[in-house]
């Protein structure tokens, strides 16, 4: 199912049973489909103040990880996290951009994967990112 949603306030009409993809009209009449492969809704604040909301698609891309004990400090165990392969990221498709975590984006090294720009321009409330102004790409 393909839906597009722009909002000025919070809310979602997505159901948990169906993957959600969004189409956005780009320059030169190219249709680009965005698929959010994170477990969180991604909110992009546009220049006009409206927000483009990308709810989770139901597909989650992650990186495998392993904790390796490395030392202890004052009796508190410390470990190093080693990240492995990307899991759950669909294969590239013409006209599809996947919204993923920064780690998945970087580890995938794919041009069709973006991540929310959660740097200094991100909009935060009580330390939590509420919206971003754009995406980061490879």
pLDDT digits (tens, 9 = 90+) for 93-115: 999 999 999 999 999 999 999 99
Q: Is residue 12 part of a domain?
A: yes
Whole-number pLDDT of residue 31: 77
> 65-85: per-residue pLDDT in tens?
999 999 999 999 999 999 999
- Expressed as residue numbers, the domain containing 100 is 6-61+87-137
Tokens representing 119 are 């740097």
Is there a contact between 34 and 5 (Cβ–Cβ < 8 Å)?
no
**What's the chain's average pLDDT?**
83
Tell me whether residue 121 is in a domain: yes
Contacts of 112 (CB under 8 A, 6+ apart): 92, 93, 96, 97, 98
Asked if residue 67 is part of any domain, the answer here is: no
**pLDDT value at position 32?**
84
Any domain includes 28: yes
| Structural domain count, the chain | 1
- Is pTM beyond 0.85? Reply is no
Measured between alpha carbons, how far is residue 61 from residues 6, 50, 76, 98 in Å? 24, 28, 32, 10
Burial class (CB in 10 A: 0-12, 13-18, 19+), 87: exposed
- What's phi and psi for 41, nearest 5 deg? -65, 140
For residue 11, name the pLDDT band (cuts at 50, 70, 90): very low
């Amino acid at each position: 199912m393909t839906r597009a949603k722009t909002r000025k306030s919070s809310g979602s009409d997505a159901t948990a049973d169906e993957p959600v993809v969004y189409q956005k009209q780009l320059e030169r009449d190219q249709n680009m489909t965005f698929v959010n492969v994170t477990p969180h809704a991604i909110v992009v604040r546009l220049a006009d103040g409206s927000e483009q909301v990308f709810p989770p698609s139901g597909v989650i891309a992650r990186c495998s990880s392993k904790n390796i004990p490395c030392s202890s400090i004052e009796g508190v165990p410390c470990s190093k996290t080693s990240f492995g392969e990307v899991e759950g990221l669909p294969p590239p498709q013409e006209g599809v951009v996947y919204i993923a975590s920064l780690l998945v984006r970087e580890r995938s090294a794919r041009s069709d994967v973006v991540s929310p720009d959660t740097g200094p321009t991100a909009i935060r409330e009580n330390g939590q990112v509420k919206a971003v102004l754009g995406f980061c790409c490879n």
